[in-house]
Chains A and B, each alone.
Chain A
Amino acid sequence: VTEPVVWRRLSPLMLLVHPVHEVLRQVPLLIGAVVLGSATGNAMWSIAALVLMIVFGVARWFTTTYRIDAEQIQRREGVLQRSVLSVPRNRIRSVSTDARLLHRLLGLTVVKVSTGQEAKGDAGFALDAVRADEVPALRALLLAESRPDSLEAGDEVGPAERELARWQPSWLRYSPLSFTGLATIAAAIGVIYQTGAVAALEDSPLAQQGRDAAERLGVVATVVVAVLAVLILGVLLSVVRSLLTFGNLVLSRRDEVLHLQHGLLRVREHTFDMRRLRGGTIRQPLLVRAFGGARLDAVMTGVDGSGEASLLLPPCPAPTAEAVLTDLIGQQDAVTGELRHHGPAATRRRWTRALTFPALLAAGLGVTAVVAAVPSWAWVLCGLVAAACAFLAADRSRALGHRVGDGWLVARSGSLDRRRDCLAAEGIIGWTARQTLFQRRAGVATLIAATPAGVKGYRVLDVPAELAWSVAAAASPWVANSDWTREPAHS
């Protein structure tokens, strides 16, 4: 790499973006300035604040520089406080790009570099922003250090890019089943209340009409209409959000590089180094599973396993997710193979835990019934809760299972958020067998495989206690050969 080691500036177009972002970021301050301006009768306050923000935004561009030398990538920044952030190039694990609407209009892209070692709350290393046409070269340069053999030869000569999955309009059918729409509505209502718009509306003719309509329809009809309206709105919001976020998603693979691109308005691209892949998680939330869907997360060193960073496929048909994971890890059995169930003790624990709450509820109602009349709908409600809990217990017990062998550990659990974790055994660098008092009495243990990848700890829930170390030993030779391992003669 013969890159001249000079400090480079980010795209000059950021002179337009920074002031806008700065103003948007300081909206509370701006509101304060406007209030102060109107209170003192002197509009100069507001103008001064605005000018200060714009100057600050412009100064940010002039003070931010970066350079890439043979060992590291560095960024200098800060208007009042200077800081230098350096990342050793051989520690770079992934490079992702992100272009919001304003960036896209100007042909800019934010480049984020991840080492996977960032502490929580750490912003990480981002170049905000460079010209979009510089990105492929920059990406190749940044990842070259961790991939010595590939990409050196140039993009054209390498093996052809192979498409693993492409977004289909039919995938939208899984998106109404998420709670994001309802959450958006709740957030919107919260904001509206906070701004006092509701109080202003209360006496308006519109609200009066609404009240009249409610009186004509009756309470039950009004509630039904309101619930239906919220549901429909929620579904619409979820679908639109899903379409904007994941529309035109393409997951492709070229040799050892996995490439994910998605987003209609805000375009995001992730590049993953396949040699850091330690497996994958197929997640099937209850409602998505009911319609035969699944989503896929990567288990990868240097990529946070819980957030959006590890997403490979949004809710899509389960066979698609399974086929892609099989292609990535090359182990059909780990993805779809039969699991070993955890037996009656684990099942019993699922039922006890699920039914404790309805039992307490029923007991409470029973006690209340002795001293006062309990309305019959309370009993019906209690019965419904019990039925829902029983369903959860049955579904959760059915889910529990594990599989170990051929160098892979597979664990499945959960009902509302069912997950099947497939983890490469060579990536496991620690085992924990945990038993609460109740687990000891039931003769089961929770086995936790520690790994530097993904969510760091992968749990095998309520394995029969006598099996726990067999699972660990089957996956990790260093457990099987440890000084403490005893193998009874009969097995």
Chain B
Amino acid sequence: MVTLVDPANPPSRKAPLVWAIGAAIPWAVLAVAQVVWFVLDARLSWLHAVAAGVTVVGVVTFVVVAPVWRYRVHRWEIGAQAVYTRSGWLVQERRIAPISRVQTVDTHRGPLAQLFGLADVTVTTASSAGAVRIVALDSEVADRIAAQLTDIAAIGDRDAT
């Protein structure tokens, strides 16, 4: 019976905040739209109540619960031979890929992530089902990982399929 202990490193401390803001933006748009609708047409009060209820539940779930939950689940680590990550909240994944089969290492910064100095690292292998994503890292950590992985993998000397 073999078990794998969880990877050691958490994402950036700012990750929950960035995730919360990212989720809050569409919900805020929705809330504003509902207020406008209520101001323009206040009939059907029960429908307004239902819509407001859905919005409140959505905001609590995606802006408060999900970021905290994700922060508690997300972990990553780079070992001597493999990359190992844990991610998700309702659906959780542990994914491991051997560094010797890595094909590309990309860092990616979205607009919001850039604002807070975060970055994602995506490690791809020859299988589209095997790409490992380490999300919401501090920018300098991401760059360090990318450099380190590129070094170990010695990408380009082999077909890797």
- B125 to nearest A CB, angstroms? 5
**Contact status A484-B125, CB under 8 Å:** no
**B106-147 contacts to A (CB < 8 Å):** 125-130, 132
Q: Contact check: which of B2, B92, B97, B129 meets A469 at CB < 8 Å? A: B2
**Contact status A478-B81, CB under 8 Å:** yes
How many of chain B's residues touch chain A, expressed as a range? Answer: 20 to 34
**A450-479 contacts to B (CB < 8 Å):** 450-452, 456-457, 466-467, 469-470, 472-474, 476, 478-479
User: How many A residues face the partner with a CB closer than 8 A?
Assistant: 39
**Contact status B90-A452, CB under 8 Å:** no
Tell whether B94 is near chain A: CB-to-CB under 8 Å.
yes
Tell whether A448 is near chain B: CB-to-CB under 8 Å.
yes
Tell whether B91 is near chain A: CB-to-CB under 8 Å.
yes
Q: Contact check: which of A432, A448, A478, A486 meets B4 at CB < 8 Å? A: A486
**Contact status B80-A457, CB under 8 Å:** no
- B74 to nearest A CB, angstroms? 15
Chain B 2-38: CB-based contact to A (< 8 A → 1; otherwise 0): 1111110000000000000000000000000000000
Tell whether A3 is near chain B: CB-to-CB under 8 Å.
no
CA distance A11 to B128 in the complex (A): 38
**Contact status A433-B93, CB under 8 Å:** yes
Residues of A within 8 A of B97 (CB): 429-431, 450
Residues of A within 8 A of B128 (CB): 456-457
- A302 to nearest B CB, angstroms? 8
CA distance A486 to B4 in the complex (A): 6
**Contact status A448-B129, CB under 8 Å:** yes
Residues of B within 8 A of A483 (CB): 77, 79-82
For B7, B80, B98, which residue has the most chain A Cβ atoms within 10 angstroms?
Answer: B98
Chain B 68-105: CB-based contact to A (< 8 A → 1; otherwise 0): 00000000010111101000001111111110110000
Q: Which residue of B lies closest to A473 (CB)?
A: B2
**Contact status A436-B90, CB under 8 Å:** yes
CA distance A480 to B90 in the complex (A): 28
Q: A436-B90, A466-B3, A484-B77 are in contact. Are A430 and B96 (CB under 8 A)?
A: yes
Q: Which residue of A lies closest to B98 (CB)?
A: A478
- A49 to nearest B CB, angstroms? 43
**Contact status A436-B91, CB under 8 Å:** yes
Residues of A within 8 A of B100 (CB): 478
Q: Which A residues have a C-beta under 8 Å from some C-beta of B?
A: 116, 301-302, 429-437, 440, 448, 450-452, 456-457, 466-467, 469-470, 472-474, 476, 478-488, 491
